[in-house]
Amino acid sequence: MTNRTKYVFVTGGVVSSLGKGIAASSLGLLLQRRGLKVCNIKLDPYLNVDPGTMNPFQHGEVFVLDDGAETDLDLGHYERFTDQSLTKHNNTTTGQIYNTIIARERRGDYLGATVQVIPHVTEEIKNRIKRFSQQPEKPDVVIVEIGGTVGDIESLPFLEAIRQMELEEGRENTMFIHVTLIPYISAAGEFKTKPTQHSVRELRAIGIQPDMLLCRCAQPLDESLRQKISLFCSVPTDGVILAQDVPTIYAVPLKFYEQNADAQVCKHFGLDTPEPDLREWEQLVEKINYPKKRLKIAICGKYVMLKDAYKSIIEAFIHAGAYNEVEVKLIWVSSEDIKQHGADELLAGIDGLLIPGGFGERGVAGKIEAIRYVRENNIPFLGICLGMQCAVIEFARNMCDLKDAHSFEFYRDLKHPVIHLMADQEGVTELGGTMRLGTYPCVLDEDSSSMKAYGTSEIHERHRHRYELNNAYRPMLEEKGLKLSGLSPDGRLVEIIEVPEHRWFVGVQFHPELKSRPTNPHPLFRDFVKAALEHNDEMNEVSVETNTNSTNEHSHEAG
Ligand code: GLN
Protein backbone atom coordinates (compact mmCIF):
# COMPACT_ATOMS: atom_id res chain seq x y z
CA MET A 1 0.00 0.00 0.00
CA THR A 2 2.80 2.43 0.89
CA ASN A 3 6.41 1.97 0.07
CA ARG A 4 7.87 3.05 3.37
CA THR A 5 7.07 1.22 6.60
CA LYS A 6 5.50 3.40 9.28
CA TYR A 7 6.22 2.94 12.97
CA VAL A 8 3.86 3.50 15.89
CA PHE A 9 5.57 3.39 19.28
CA VAL A 10 3.40 2.67 22.31
CA THR A 11 4.84 3.63 25.69
CA GLY A 12 3.27 3.59 29.13
CA GLY A 13 3.38 6.06 31.99
CA VAL A 14 2.27 6.60 35.60
CA VAL A 15 1.72 2.95 36.54
CA SER A 16 2.05 -0.47 34.94
CA SER A 17 -0.88 -2.70 33.92
CA LEU A 18 -2.70 0.07 32.04
CA GLY A 19 -3.44 -2.20 29.13
CA LYS A 20 -0.75 -1.07 26.67
CA GLY A 21 -0.94 -4.50 25.07
CA ILE A 22 -4.70 -4.19 24.52
CA ALA A 23 -4.23 -0.65 23.20
CA ALA A 24 -1.53 -1.75 20.74
CA SER A 25 -3.64 -4.74 19.67
CA SER A 26 -6.78 -2.62 19.24
CA LEU A 27 -4.92 -0.17 17.06
CA GLY A 28 -3.52 -3.11 15.09
CA LEU A 29 -7.02 -4.41 14.47
CA LEU A 30 -8.38 -1.01 13.37
CA LEU A 31 -5.50 -0.35 10.97
CA GLN A 32 -5.76 -3.86 9.60
CA ARG A 33 -9.49 -3.38 8.96
CA ARG A 34 -8.56 -0.25 7.03
CA GLY A 35 -6.71 -2.52 4.64
CA LEU A 36 -3.20 -2.00 6.02
CA LYS A 37 -0.70 -4.78 6.64
CA VAL A 38 0.08 -4.53 10.33
CA CYS A 39 2.75 -6.11 12.49
CA ASN A 40 2.71 -5.86 16.30
CA ILE A 41 5.94 -6.29 18.22
CA LYS A 42 6.85 -6.09 21.89
CA LEU A 43 10.15 -4.98 23.38
CA ASP A 44 10.63 -6.17 26.95
CA PRO A 45 13.30 -4.39 28.99
CA TYR A 46 14.00 -7.24 31.44
CA LEU A 47 17.24 -9.23 31.33
CA ASN A 48 15.73 -12.69 30.91
CA VAL A 49 16.22 -14.04 27.41
CA ASP A 50 12.54 -14.93 27.37
CA PRO A 51 9.80 -15.36 29.98
CA GLY A 52 10.00 -19.17 29.69
CA THR A 53 11.90 -19.58 32.94
CA MET A 54 9.95 -16.95 34.90
CA ASN A 55 7.50 -17.74 37.64
CA PRO A 56 3.89 -17.12 36.50
CA PHE A 57 3.42 -15.02 39.65
CA GLN A 58 6.04 -12.60 38.33
CA HIS A 59 5.17 -12.63 34.72
CA GLY A 60 1.78 -14.22 34.07
CA GLU A 61 1.28 -16.67 31.25
CA VAL A 62 4.05 -17.68 28.86
CA PHE A 63 2.58 -17.42 25.39
CA VAL A 64 4.05 -20.04 23.04
CA LEU A 65 4.15 -19.30 19.31
CA ASP A 66 4.06 -21.70 16.36
CA ASP A 67 7.86 -21.59 16.06
CA GLY A 68 8.23 -22.54 19.72
CA ALA A 69 9.21 -19.10 21.03
CA GLU A 70 8.15 -18.57 24.63
CA THR A 71 6.91 -15.01 24.74
CA ASP A 72 5.14 -12.32 26.69
CA LEU A 73 1.38 -12.64 27.15
CA ASP A 74 0.81 -9.47 25.12
CA LEU A 75 1.73 -11.50 22.05
CA GLY A 76 -1.44 -13.44 22.79
CA HIS A 77 -3.46 -10.23 22.56
CA TYR A 78 -1.74 -9.31 19.29
CA GLU A 79 -2.54 -12.70 17.78
CA ARG A 80 -6.13 -12.63 19.01
CA PHE A 81 -6.96 -9.08 17.91
CA THR A 82 -5.20 -9.16 14.55
CA ASP A 83 -5.86 -12.85 13.84
CA GLN A 84 -2.24 -13.44 12.83
CA SER A 85 0.30 -16.03 13.93
CA LEU A 86 3.49 -14.33 15.04
CA THR A 87 7.11 -15.49 15.29
CA LYS A 88 9.97 -15.17 17.74
CA HIS A 89 10.95 -11.91 16.01
CA ASN A 90 7.83 -10.23 17.39
CA ASN A 91 9.17 -10.28 20.97
CA THR A 92 12.60 -9.00 21.94
CA THR A 93 14.08 -8.70 25.42
CA THR A 94 17.14 -6.93 26.79
CA GLY A 95 18.48 -10.42 27.52
CA GLN A 96 18.37 -11.33 23.81
CA ILE A 97 19.96 -8.06 22.80
CA TYR A 98 22.87 -8.47 25.21
CA ASN A 99 23.24 -12.13 24.22
CA THR A 100 23.69 -11.10 20.58
CA ILE A 101 26.06 -8.24 21.38
CA ILE A 102 28.24 -10.26 23.74
CA ALA A 103 28.51 -13.14 21.23
CA ARG A 104 29.53 -10.61 18.57
CA GLU A 105 32.10 -9.04 20.88
CA ARG A 106 33.62 -12.45 21.69
CA ARG A 107 33.94 -13.17 17.96
CA GLY A 108 35.84 -9.91 17.60
CA ASP A 109 33.24 -8.36 15.30
CA TYR A 110 33.60 -4.94 16.93
CA LEU A 111 37.22 -4.67 15.77
CA GLY A 112 38.60 -3.36 19.02
CA ALA A 113 35.88 -0.77 19.67
CA THR A 114 34.53 -0.18 23.18
CA VAL A 115 31.06 -1.76 23.18
CA GLN A 116 28.51 0.64 24.69
CA VAL A 117 24.78 1.12 25.28
CA ILE A 118 24.86 3.95 22.78
CA PRO A 119 25.43 3.17 19.94
CA HIS A 120 25.71 -0.64 20.11
CA VAL A 121 22.69 -1.57 22.21
CA THR A 122 20.48 1.06 20.58
CA GLU A 123 21.62 -0.08 17.10
CA GLU A 124 20.67 -3.66 17.91
CA ILE A 125 17.25 -2.52 19.20
CA LYS A 126 16.63 -0.51 16.02
CA ASN A 127 17.73 -3.41 13.82
CA ARG A 128 15.26 -5.67 15.56
CA ILE A 129 12.46 -3.13 14.98
CA LYS A 130 13.43 -2.48 11.38
CA ARG A 131 13.99 -6.06 10.28
CA PHE A 132 10.30 -6.39 9.38
CA SER A 133 10.57 -3.69 6.73
CA GLN A 134 13.33 -5.70 5.02
CA GLN A 135 11.06 -8.70 4.45
CA PRO A 136 9.54 -9.18 0.97
CA GLU A 137 6.02 -9.07 2.48
CA LYS A 138 6.80 -6.01 4.49
CA PRO A 139 4.15 -4.46 6.72
CA ASP A 140 2.68 -1.00 6.12
CA VAL A 141 2.69 -0.28 9.85
CA VAL A 142 4.78 -1.79 12.64
CA ILE A 143 3.29 -1.19 16.08
CA VAL A 144 6.04 -1.36 18.69
CA GLU A 145 5.03 -1.70 22.32
CA ILE A 146 7.72 -0.87 24.88
CA GLY A 147 7.28 -2.90 28.06
CA GLY A 148 7.56 -1.27 31.48
CA THR A 149 6.82 2.31 32.45
CA VAL A 150 8.55 5.52 31.39
CA GLY A 151 11.01 6.37 34.14
CA ASP A 152 12.25 2.80 34.61
CA ILE A 153 16.03 2.61 34.36
CA GLU A 154 15.95 -0.52 32.22
CA SER A 155 13.67 0.95 29.54
CA LEU A 156 16.00 3.87 28.81
CA PRO A 157 17.95 2.23 25.94
CA PHE A 158 14.64 1.35 24.25
CA LEU A 159 13.32 4.90 24.54
CA GLU A 160 16.61 6.27 23.24
CA ALA A 161 16.43 3.86 20.30
CA ILE A 162 12.91 4.91 19.32
CA ARG A 163 13.86 8.58 19.71
CA GLN A 164 16.66 8.00 17.21
CA MET A 165 14.22 6.27 14.89
CA GLU A 166 12.16 9.42 14.58
CA LEU A 167 15.26 11.17 13.32
CA GLU A 168 16.23 8.41 10.92
CA GLU A 169 12.81 7.49 9.55
CA GLY A 170 11.29 10.97 9.60
CA ARG A 171 8.44 12.45 11.64
CA GLU A 172 5.92 11.51 8.99
CA ASN A 173 6.89 7.85 9.36
CA THR A 174 6.99 7.60 13.14
CA MET A 175 4.30 8.24 15.73
CA PHE A 176 4.42 8.13 19.52
CA ILE A 177 1.42 7.06 21.56
CA HIS A 178 1.63 7.28 25.33
CA VAL A 179 -0.78 5.34 27.56
CA THR A 180 -1.38 7.03 30.93
CA LEU A 181 -3.72 6.99 33.88
CA ILE A 182 -6.11 9.72 34.99
CA PRO A 183 -6.85 8.72 38.59
CA TYR A 184 -10.07 9.68 40.33
CA ILE A 185 -9.58 10.96 43.87
CA SER A 186 -12.86 10.22 45.57
CA ALA A 187 -12.19 12.41 48.63
CA ALA A 188 -11.83 15.42 46.32
CA GLY A 189 -14.43 14.14 43.85
CA GLU A 190 -12.00 14.93 41.04
CA PHE A 191 -9.96 13.41 38.26
CA LYS A 192 -6.29 14.31 38.43
CA THR A 193 -4.20 15.06 35.36
CA LYS A 194 -0.94 15.79 37.17
CA PRO A 195 0.51 12.24 36.95
CA THR A 196 -0.06 12.36 33.17
CA GLN A 197 1.62 15.76 32.93
CA HIS A 198 4.63 14.43 34.84
CA SER A 199 4.86 11.30 32.79
CA VAL A 200 4.75 13.26 29.52
CA ARG A 201 7.37 15.63 30.90
CA GLU A 202 9.58 12.62 31.59
CA LEU A 203 9.17 11.44 28.00
CA ARG A 204 9.94 14.89 26.65
CA ALA A 205 13.10 15.02 28.77
CA ILE A 206 14.25 11.95 26.84
CA GLY A 207 13.41 13.75 23.61
CA ILE A 208 10.08 12.15 22.77
CA GLN A 209 6.99 14.28 22.25
CA PRO A 210 3.87 12.08 22.20
CA ASP A 211 1.51 12.57 19.26
CA MET A 212 -1.40 10.90 21.01
CA LEU A 213 -2.36 10.12 24.60
CA LEU A 214 -4.52 7.17 25.58
CA CYS A 215 -5.89 8.16 28.97
CA ARG A 216 -7.12 5.31 31.13
CA CYS A 217 -9.94 6.47 33.39
CA ALA A 218 -12.69 4.80 35.37
CA GLN A 219 -15.43 7.16 34.14
CA PRO A 220 -15.90 9.57 31.25
CA LEU A 221 -13.82 12.76 31.46
CA ASP A 222 -15.14 16.29 30.94
CA GLU A 223 -14.22 18.09 27.76
CA SER A 224 -12.50 20.74 29.91
CA LEU A 225 -10.17 18.10 31.35
CA ARG A 226 -9.28 16.87 27.88
CA GLN A 227 -8.40 20.40 26.92
CA LYS A 228 -6.29 20.78 30.02
CA ILE A 229 -4.38 17.59 29.25
CA SER A 230 -3.96 18.75 25.66
CA LEU A 231 -2.58 22.12 26.72
CA PHE A 232 -0.16 20.85 29.33
CA CYS A 233 1.10 17.94 27.26
CA SER A 234 1.22 19.69 23.87
CA VAL A 235 -0.99 17.10 22.26
CA PRO A 236 -3.92 18.31 20.09
CA THR A 237 -7.30 17.80 21.83
CA ASP A 238 -8.33 15.23 19.20
CA GLY A 239 -5.24 13.26 20.12
CA VAL A 240 -6.32 12.96 23.75
CA ILE A 241 -8.19 9.67 23.52
CA LEU A 242 -10.14 8.39 26.48
CA ALA A 243 -9.62 4.78 27.33
CA GLN A 244 -12.44 4.37 29.77
CA ASP A 245 -12.88 1.05 31.60
CA VAL A 246 -15.15 -1.23 29.56
CA PRO A 247 -16.79 -4.55 30.52
CA THR A 248 -14.86 -6.46 27.84
CA ILE A 249 -11.46 -5.79 26.29
CA TYR A 250 -12.99 -6.54 22.90
CA ALA A 251 -14.91 -3.26 23.13
CA VAL A 252 -11.67 -1.23 23.26
CA PRO A 253 -11.17 -1.03 19.45
CA LEU A 254 -14.75 0.20 19.07
CA LYS A 255 -14.14 2.93 21.65
CA PHE A 256 -10.94 4.02 19.90
CA TYR A 257 -12.73 4.07 16.58
CA GLU A 258 -15.52 6.28 17.99
CA GLN A 259 -12.82 8.81 18.90
CA ASN A 260 -11.10 8.58 15.50
CA ALA A 261 -7.86 7.24 16.95
CA ASP A 262 -7.15 5.09 13.89
CA ALA A 263 -8.12 7.85 11.49
CA GLN A 264 -5.63 10.15 13.21
CA VAL A 265 -2.86 7.60 12.91
CA CYS A 266 -3.54 7.31 9.18
CA LYS A 267 -3.66 11.09 8.84
CA HIS A 268 -0.33 11.44 10.64
CA PHE A 269 1.26 9.01 8.18
CA GLY A 270 -0.52 10.49 5.18
CA LEU A 271 -2.23 7.15 4.50
CA ASP A 272 -5.47 7.33 2.59
CA THR A 273 -7.53 4.38 3.82
CA PRO A 274 -11.21 3.38 3.78
CA GLU A 275 -13.31 3.25 6.96
CA PRO A 276 -12.86 -0.07 8.77
CA ASP A 277 -15.59 -2.70 8.63
CA LEU A 278 -16.19 -3.53 12.29
CA ARG A 279 -19.54 -5.35 12.05
CA GLU A 280 -18.16 -8.74 12.99
CA TRP A 281 -16.41 -7.20 15.97
CA GLU A 282 -19.56 -5.32 17.06
CA GLN A 283 -21.52 -8.56 16.96
CA LEU A 284 -18.88 -10.23 19.08
CA VAL A 285 -19.09 -7.50 21.74
CA GLU A 286 -22.89 -7.67 21.64
CA LYS A 287 -22.79 -11.42 22.27
CA ILE A 288 -20.30 -11.02 25.10
CA ASN A 289 -22.35 -8.25 26.73
CA TYR A 290 -25.76 -9.90 26.35
CA PRO A 291 -25.43 -13.65 26.89
CA LYS A 292 -28.59 -15.76 26.93
CA LYS A 293 -27.44 -17.98 29.74
CA ARG A 294 -24.73 -18.39 32.31
CA LEU A 295 -22.65 -21.51 32.93
CA LYS A 296 -20.30 -22.35 35.73
CA ILE A 297 -16.99 -23.88 34.73
CA ALA A 298 -14.43 -24.60 37.42
CA ILE A 299 -10.74 -24.06 36.81
CA CYS A 300 -8.65 -25.95 39.24
CA GLY A 301 -5.01 -24.95 39.32
CA LYS A 302 -2.09 -23.79 41.38
CA TYR A 303 -2.09 -20.09 40.51
CA VAL A 304 -5.80 -19.35 40.90
CA MET A 305 -5.05 -16.06 42.69
CA LEU A 306 -3.23 -14.76 39.67
CA LYS A 307 -5.54 -14.73 36.67
CA ASP A 308 -2.80 -13.52 34.31
CA ALA A 309 -1.23 -16.95 34.59
CA TYR A 310 -4.25 -18.31 32.69
CA LYS A 311 -4.86 -15.37 30.34
CA SER A 312 -5.36 -17.33 27.11
CA ILE A 313 -7.66 -19.84 28.80
CA ILE A 314 -9.86 -17.01 30.10
CA GLU A 315 -9.98 -15.45 26.64
CA ALA A 316 -10.67 -18.80 24.95
CA PHE A 317 -13.73 -19.18 27.22
CA ILE A 318 -14.92 -15.70 26.25
CA HIS A 319 -14.66 -16.63 22.56
CA ALA A 320 -16.36 -20.00 23.03
CA GLY A 321 -19.00 -18.41 25.28
CA ALA A 322 -19.82 -15.74 22.69
CA TYR A 323 -20.12 -18.43 20.01
CA ASN A 324 -22.53 -20.45 22.18
CA GLU A 325 -24.26 -17.25 23.37
CA VAL A 326 -23.56 -17.96 27.02
CA GLU A 327 -21.48 -16.32 29.67
CA VAL A 328 -18.94 -18.73 31.08
CA LYS A 329 -18.53 -17.87 34.73
CA LEU A 330 -15.19 -19.24 35.80
CA ILE A 331 -15.06 -20.65 39.31
CA TRP A 332 -11.47 -20.60 40.50
CA VAL A 333 -10.78 -23.50 42.79
CA SER A 334 -7.43 -23.99 44.42
CA SER A 335 -6.29 -27.57 43.94
CA GLU A 336 -4.95 -27.51 47.50
CA ASP A 337 -8.44 -26.67 48.84
CA ILE A 338 -9.86 -29.69 47.01
CA LYS A 339 -7.36 -31.87 48.77
CA GLN A 340 -8.54 -30.48 52.10
CA HIS A 341 -12.31 -30.19 51.59
CA GLY A 342 -12.97 -32.78 48.87
CA ALA A 343 -14.23 -32.31 45.31
CA ASP A 344 -17.85 -33.21 46.10
CA GLU A 345 -18.19 -30.14 48.28
CA LEU A 346 -16.18 -27.65 46.24
CA LEU A 347 -17.33 -28.67 42.77
CA ALA A 348 -21.04 -29.22 43.44
CA GLY A 349 -23.20 -27.44 40.84
CA ILE A 350 -20.52 -26.90 38.17
CA ASP A 351 -21.22 -27.49 34.49
CA GLY A 352 -17.66 -28.29 33.51
CA LEU A 353 -14.12 -28.61 34.82
CA LEU A 354 -10.91 -27.42 33.22
CA ILE A 355 -7.51 -28.41 34.56
CA PRO A 356 -4.84 -26.18 33.04
CA GLY A 357 -1.15 -26.79 32.41
CA GLY A 358 1.40 -26.51 35.17
CA PHE A 359 4.64 -27.67 36.68
CA GLY A 360 5.52 -29.30 39.97
CA GLU A 361 3.62 -31.57 42.30
CA ARG A 362 1.91 -29.01 44.53
CA GLY A 363 -1.84 -29.28 44.02
CA VAL A 364 -1.71 -32.39 41.85
CA ALA A 365 -3.54 -34.58 44.39
CA GLY A 366 -6.45 -32.08 44.39
CA LYS A 367 -6.53 -32.02 40.60
CA ILE A 368 -6.69 -35.82 40.42
CA GLU A 369 -9.54 -35.81 42.93
CA ALA A 370 -11.41 -33.14 40.94
CA ILE A 371 -11.03 -35.24 37.77
CA ARG A 372 -12.40 -38.33 39.53
CA TYR A 373 -15.45 -36.30 40.57
CA VAL A 374 -16.29 -35.07 37.06
CA ARG A 375 -15.52 -38.40 35.40
CA GLU A 376 -17.81 -40.26 37.76
CA ASN A 377 -20.55 -37.61 37.58
CA ASN A 378 -20.53 -37.23 33.80
CA ILE A 379 -19.58 -33.54 33.99
CA PRO A 380 -17.73 -32.19 30.91
CA PHE A 381 -13.96 -32.08 31.30
CA LEU A 382 -11.08 -30.50 29.44
CA GLY A 383 -7.55 -31.23 30.64
CA ILE A 384 -4.68 -29.24 29.21
CA CYS A 385 -1.09 -30.52 29.32
CA LEU A 386 -0.53 -31.24 33.03
CA GLY A 387 -4.35 -31.44 33.20
CA MET A 388 -4.29 -34.27 30.64
CA GLN A 389 -1.44 -35.98 32.49
CA CYS A 390 -3.46 -35.81 35.74
CA ALA A 391 -6.44 -37.36 33.92
CA VAL A 392 -4.23 -40.28 32.85
CA ILE A 393 -3.01 -40.75 36.42
CA GLU A 394 -6.59 -40.64 37.73
CA PHE A 395 -7.74 -43.18 35.15
CA ALA A 396 -4.79 -45.48 35.87
CA ARG A 397 -5.42 -45.34 39.60
CA ASN A 398 -9.19 -45.69 39.65
CA MET A 399 -9.98 -47.64 36.49
CA CYS A 400 -6.85 -49.77 36.03
CA ASP A 401 -6.31 -50.29 39.72
CA LEU A 402 -2.74 -48.99 39.62
CA LYS A 403 -3.00 -47.28 43.00
CA ASP A 404 0.47 -45.80 42.93
CA ALA A 405 0.37 -44.51 39.36
CA HIS A 406 2.01 -41.10 39.12
CA SER A 407 4.19 -38.89 36.96
CA PHE A 408 7.93 -39.23 36.65
CA GLU A 409 8.04 -35.42 36.88
CA PHE A 410 7.35 -35.67 40.61
CA TYR A 411 9.00 -38.92 41.70
CA ARG A 412 11.88 -40.76 40.08
CA ASP A 413 11.40 -44.05 41.88
CA LEU A 414 7.89 -45.00 40.82
CA LYS A 415 6.21 -48.36 40.49
CA HIS A 416 3.85 -47.08 37.80
CA PRO A 417 5.21 -44.00 36.00
CA VAL A 418 2.19 -43.65 33.69
CA ILE A 419 3.56 -40.25 32.70
CA HIS A 420 7.22 -40.43 31.71
CA LEU A 421 10.00 -38.19 30.45
CA MET A 422 10.02 -37.91 26.65
CA ALA A 423 12.98 -39.77 25.14
CA ASP A 424 14.53 -36.64 23.63
CA GLN A 425 14.37 -34.86 26.99
CA GLU A 426 16.80 -37.29 28.60
CA GLY A 427 20.06 -35.63 29.50
CA VAL A 428 18.63 -32.12 29.08
CA THR A 429 19.92 -30.02 31.97
CA GLU A 430 19.31 -26.41 30.93
CA LEU A 431 15.87 -25.06 31.73
CA GLY A 432 15.48 -22.22 29.22
CA GLY A 433 13.91 -23.08 25.86
CA THR A 434 14.54 -26.82 26.14
CA MET A 435 11.03 -28.26 26.42
CA ARG A 436 9.10 -29.71 23.47
CA LEU A 437 7.96 -26.34 22.20
CA GLY A 438 5.81 -25.04 19.39
CA THR A 439 3.58 -26.53 16.75
CA TYR A 440 3.47 -30.25 16.02
CA PRO A 441 0.99 -32.22 13.91
CA CYS A 442 -1.43 -34.70 15.42
CA VAL A 443 -3.66 -37.29 13.76
CA LEU A 444 -7.16 -37.82 15.16
CA ASP A 445 -9.21 -40.96 15.60
CA GLU A 446 -12.21 -40.76 13.22
CA ASP A 447 -14.66 -41.68 15.93
CA SER A 448 -13.91 -39.21 18.72
CA SER A 449 -15.09 -35.97 20.34
CA SER A 450 -11.91 -34.33 19.05
CA MET A 451 -12.65 -35.32 15.46
CA LYS A 452 -16.20 -34.00 15.90
CA ALA A 453 -14.82 -30.72 17.19
CA TYR A 454 -12.08 -30.15 14.60
CA GLY A 455 -13.89 -31.65 11.64
CA THR A 456 -10.57 -32.72 10.15
CA SER A 457 -8.23 -35.57 10.99
CA GLU A 458 -4.89 -33.74 10.89
CA ILE A 459 -4.45 -30.86 13.28
CA HIS A 460 -1.56 -28.65 14.37
CA GLU A 461 -1.28 -27.47 17.93
CA ARG A 462 1.28 -25.73 20.15
CA HIS A 463 3.14 -27.57 22.89
CA ARG A 464 5.19 -26.79 25.98
CA HIS A 465 6.10 -29.88 27.99
CA ARG A 466 8.78 -32.44 28.88
CA TYR A 467 6.67 -35.42 29.90
CA GLU A 468 4.29 -37.66 27.99
CA LEU A 469 1.94 -40.60 28.42
CA ASN A 470 4.14 -43.65 29.01
CA ASN A 471 3.63 -45.95 26.01
CA ALA A 472 4.15 -49.07 28.16
CA TYR A 473 0.76 -48.38 29.78
CA ARG A 474 -1.16 -47.81 26.56
CA PRO A 475 -2.62 -51.36 26.25
CA MET A 476 -3.86 -51.39 29.83
CA LEU A 477 -5.40 -47.90 29.66
CA GLU A 478 -7.09 -48.72 26.36
CA GLU A 479 -8.39 -52.03 27.65
CA LYS A 480 -10.10 -50.22 30.52
CA GLY A 481 -11.77 -47.80 28.14
CA LEU A 482 -9.45 -44.82 27.71
CA LYS A 483 -9.40 -43.72 24.08
CA LEU A 484 -6.09 -42.46 22.72
CA SER A 485 -7.82 -40.29 20.17
CA GLY A 486 -4.92 -38.15 18.98
CA LEU A 487 -1.40 -39.38 18.18
CA SER A 488 1.70 -37.86 16.62
CA PRO A 489 1.83 -38.92 12.92
CA ASP A 490 4.48 -41.58 13.72
CA GLY A 491 2.14 -42.93 16.40
CA ARG A 492 4.76 -42.58 19.15
CA LEU A 493 3.29 -39.76 21.23
CA VAL A 494 -0.18 -39.66 22.71
CA GLU A 495 -1.51 -36.14 22.21
CA ILE A 496 -5.20 -36.60 23.14
CA ILE A 497 -7.09 -38.92 25.46
CA GLU A 498 -10.85 -39.30 25.83
CA VAL A 499 -13.32 -41.31 27.87
CA PRO A 500 -15.88 -42.34 25.24
CA GLU A 501 -18.74 -43.32 27.56
CA HIS A 502 -18.54 -39.92 29.18
CA ARG A 503 -20.58 -36.95 27.90
CA TRP A 504 -17.43 -35.00 26.98
CA PHE A 505 -14.10 -35.89 28.54
CA VAL A 506 -11.02 -34.75 26.63
CA GLY A 507 -7.41 -34.33 27.74
CA VAL A 508 -4.84 -32.78 25.42
CA GLN A 509 -1.06 -32.70 25.72
CA PHE A 510 -0.96 -29.38 23.82
CA HIS A 511 -2.32 -25.91 24.55
CA PRO A 512 -5.48 -25.26 22.50
CA GLU A 513 -6.09 -21.96 24.32
CA LEU A 514 -3.16 -20.39 22.46
CA LYS A 515 -4.92 -20.67 19.11
CA SER A 516 -8.39 -19.47 20.03
CA ARG A 517 -9.45 -16.26 18.29
CA PRO A 518 -12.35 -13.97 19.23
CA THR A 519 -14.40 -14.54 16.10
CA ASN A 520 -13.05 -18.04 15.54
CA PRO A 521 -13.13 -19.89 18.87
CA HIS A 522 -10.98 -22.95 19.34
CA PRO A 523 -12.99 -26.08 18.36
CA LEU A 524 -12.26 -27.86 21.65
CA PHE A 525 -13.27 -24.88 23.80
CA ARG A 526 -16.34 -24.36 21.60
CA ASP A 527 -17.48 -27.97 22.03
CA PHE A 528 -16.52 -28.11 25.70
CA VAL A 529 -18.75 -25.09 26.40
CA LYS A 530 -21.49 -26.65 24.27
CA ALA A 531 -21.27 -29.86 26.32
CA ALA A 532 -21.37 -27.80 29.53
CA LEU A 533 -24.48 -26.05 28.23
CA GLU A 534 -26.13 -29.41 27.54
CA HIS A 535 -25.18 -30.54 31.03
CA ASN A 536 -26.67 -27.35 32.47
CA ASP A 537 -29.92 -27.79 30.49
CA GLU A 538 -30.23 -31.37 31.67
CA MET A 539 -29.62 -30.42 35.29
CA ASN A 540 -32.25 -27.71 35.07
CA GLU A 541 -34.75 -30.23 33.71
CA VAL A 542 -33.95 -32.55 36.58
CA SER A 543 -34.36 -29.75 39.08
CA VAL A 544 -37.68 -28.65 37.56
CA GLU A 545 -38.92 -32.22 37.84
CA THR A 546 -37.77 -32.61 41.41
CA ASN A 547 -39.25 -29.24 42.28
CA THR A 548 -42.67 -30.26 41.04
CA ASN A 549 -42.40 -33.57 42.85
CA SER A 550 -41.17 -32.21 46.12
CA THR A 551 -41.22 -28.58 47.17
CA ASN A 552 -38.53 -29.21 49.75
CA GLU A 553 -35.80 -29.91 47.19
CA HIS A 554 -33.36 -27.14 46.30
CA SER A 555 -33.52 -26.30 42.63
CA HIS A 556 -30.23 -26.49 40.78
CA GLU A 557 -28.95 -22.99 40.41
CA ALA A 558 -27.96 -22.26 36.83
CA GLY A 559 -26.16 -18.98 37.32
N1 GLN B 1 4.86 -30.31 33.69
C2 GLN B 1 4.33 -31.04 32.59
C3 GLN B 1 5.39 -31.38 31.55
O4 GLN B 1 6.42 -30.73 31.50
C5 GLN B 1 3.19 -30.28 31.95
C6 GLN B 1 3.63 -29.01 31.31
C7 GLN B 1 2.47 -28.08 31.05
O8 GLN B 1 1.41 -28.25 31.61
N9 GLN B 1 2.69 -27.06 30.26
O10 GLN B 1 5.21 -32.25 30.77
Spell out the residues 6+ positions from residue 199 whose beta carbon is closer than 8 angstroms to its own: 13, 14, 150, 151, 178, 180
**What is the CA(93)–ligand 1 centre distance, in A?**
24
Q: What one-letter code names the amino acid at 156?
A: L
In order of 180, 183, 199, 469, the CA distances from 195 in angstroms are 8, 8, 6, 54
Q: Is 52 helix (H, G, I), strand (E, B) or coil?
A: helix
Does 552 have pLDDT greater than 70? no
| Domain extents in the chain | 6-283, 291-540
For ligand 1, pick from 362, 408, 465 the residue to mutate: most ligand atoms within 8 Å of CB: 465
Residue 348: phi and psi, rounded to 5, are -60, 135
Q: What is the topology classification, in CATH, of domain 6-283?
A: Rossmann fold (3.40.50)
**What is the CA(174)–ligand 1 centre distance, in A?**
42
Average pLDDT taken over every residue of the chain:
93
Q: 268 catalytic, yes or no?
A: no
Catalytic pick among 369, 416, 513, 556: 513
In this prediction, residues 98-111 reach a mean pLDDT of 96
Residue 321 contacts residue 328 (beta carbons within 8 Å): yes
Spell out the residues 6+ positions from residue 516 whose beta carbon is closer than 8 angstroms to its own: 80, 312, 315, 316, 319, 320, 522, 525
In this prediction, residues 47-69 reach a mean pLDDT of 90
Q: So what's the pLDDT on residue 558?
A: 32
Does 113 have pLDDT greater than 80? yes
For ligand 1, pick from 392, 407, 467, 514 the residue to mutate: most ligand atoms within 8 Å of CB: 467
Q: So what's the pLDDT on residue 545?
A: 65
In this prediction, residues 269-292 reach a mean pLDDT of 96
Report the pocket of ligand 1 as residue ranges, CB < 6 Å. 357-359, 385-386, 409, 464-467
Q: 385 catalytic, yes or no?
A: yes
More confident residue, 359 or 175: 175
Does 553 have pLDDT greater than 60? no
Residue 489 contacts residue 434 (beta carbons within 8 Å): no
For ligand 1, pick from 63, 300, 407, 466 the residue to mutate: most ligand atoms within 8 Å of CB: 466
Does 451 have pLDDT greater than 60? yes
Q: So what's the pLDDT on residue 297?
A: 97
Does 557 have pLDDT greater than 70? no
Q: Which CATH class is domain 291-540?
A: alpha beta
Does 551 have pLDDT greater than 80? no
pTM summary value: 0.93
In this prediction, residues 305-324 reach a mean pLDDT of 93
Catalytic pick among 385, 390, 400, 442: 385
**pLDDT band for position 327 (cuts 50, 70, 90):** very high
Does 555 have pLDDT greater than 80? no
What DSSP line would sit under 277-326, residue for residue? --HHHHHHHHHHHS-SEEEEEEEEES-TT-GGGGHHHHHHHHHHHHHHTE
Q: What is the pLDDT of residues 10-44, one digit of tens each?
A: 999 888 878 999 999 999 999 999 999 999 999 99
Q: Which atom of ligand 1 is nearest to the CA of 359?
A: 1
Same fold, 6-283 and 291-540: yes
**pLDDT band for position 188 (cuts 50, 70, 90):** confident
**What is the CA(430)–ligand 1 centre distance, in A?**
16
Work out the percent of the chain whose per-residue pLDDT is above 70.
Answer: 96
**pLDDT band for position 475 (cuts 50, 70, 90):** very high
Q: What is the pLDDT of residues 367-378, one digit of tens each?
A: 999 999 999 999
Q: 446 catalytic, yes or no?
A: no
Distance (Å, whole) CA 135 – CA 156: 28
